[in-house]
Structure 1
Amino acid sequence: MSLFRELHANPPLVLPNAWDAGSARAIEAAGAHAIATTSAGVSWAAGVADAGGLNRTTAVAAVRAIVAVVSVPVTADIESGYDDVSLTVAEVIEAGAVGINLEDSAAGALIDPALHASRIATAREVAVAAGIDLVINARTDTYLFGDGSGTIDRAKLYAEAGADVLFVPGVVDAPTIRRLVEESPLPLNVMVGPGAPTVPKLTELGVTRISVGPAITAGAYGLAAAAAQELLTTGTYKVLTTAAEFGKHNNLLR
């Protein structure tokens, strides 16, 4: 059993998502036991919009850069697979990833569940051929693009295809989370942020894996915008008191 898989066996696995090597190293130094990438954050860092702007080459390059500077397992957000799940999974494995997020939507619409199950099976086949115990986090966007109906049916198909975890973004209310935990054949990953239950509460509800998606990236860019606005208007620097100390962060990357 891989170290990353073992981390799922003793929940909660909390994953503050990174978008580049510097953020990944800072997150590791804060105590994270694994690093997850965020496709939105990687997209923004590359100067493109999320959900369609990122390509395989840039996504894989971000994974490779992150793996190079951390000593903990790295799982890669590969969105819906960049038009070729087999090639994308092979490339992120070669870059050093030991897990993936693979989502069942593209261009703002849900993918047929049977088709997505076949994509999960393909990802598993590629990992087995590479000799990697890949943890597949099957993301379903049933709550992002609908009312959540069909979530458990999809989970069953994805489990049969070889998925290890069910990722359901867009759900933060405790009753729904508890129901998903009880009904899903796979351990549950939820995406949190302000307004979501706390990590202790989510653990009590039975959630196995907790991530924040692009929230930390958005916070970093929010800090940049606020600091720039303050500098350009009042000419002061109060916002920057919350920024990382130069020497401390620089030393993390030595």
Structure 2
Amino acid sequence: MSRSSVDGSGPRPLLGALAALDLVLPHRCGGCGAVPPPGRPLCRGCAVRLRALVHTPRLVGPHPRPTGLPPVHATAPYAGVVAALLRAWKDDGRRDLTGLLAALLRPALAVARPPGALLVPVPTSPAARRRRGDAPLLDLLGRAAGAEPGPVDALRVTRRVADQSALGRRDRAANLDHALAARSPDLLAGRPVVLVDDVLTTGATLAEAARAVRAAGGHPVAAAVLAATRRHRVPDGEEADP
């Protein structure tokens, strides 16, 4: 018999304690932290604000557009409650929001994906996977794909990269240059590919993913994202987030 089963230090007591904690602490809105209606991920106010932001899938793109970036389809701007939801889901462990975000991504996939195309998510770095304990984008894409053939985890990160959030357009491109590769060329060779990410900012990540797909003999025909940032110019000519 293991020590943990004797003294209660194993995972089962911990899971039980967390379940009990859920009964004490109220469930929080994924957008603002208020208490939502029972069984809902959002409070009524955030649900209204989300409906106002979400649109039918449309082509989006940064300016300037990085070389090799395929056409990108998005269903919302990265702003307001949409940005709050994505941060809570990806960085704060709110995996209960996966179903809601998958429903937002699904229309962009339907528009971007031609028959027979592979769905390939941008890979999670090993460091991020260790920090979060999972690969949230891969899970999200699996939910969004529905009955269609699911995602193919075909790309990997080949070297250490810096956190992109604090970098400008040029630095993002340099940070990701040749940082991705196919896990196996056989997965992608000769196949049309739709790349998927959660947010389009400068386009550097999707452009690098498209380069890696082409290097393996695949054809990146389009990309789909949940949200795209609204870009504007700053005095030195760099692109910046609002």
The two structures share one fold, judged by TM-score above 0.5: no
* Larger Rg belongs to: 2
Higher helix share: 1
TM-score, with structure 1 as normaliser: 0.29
Higher strand share: 2
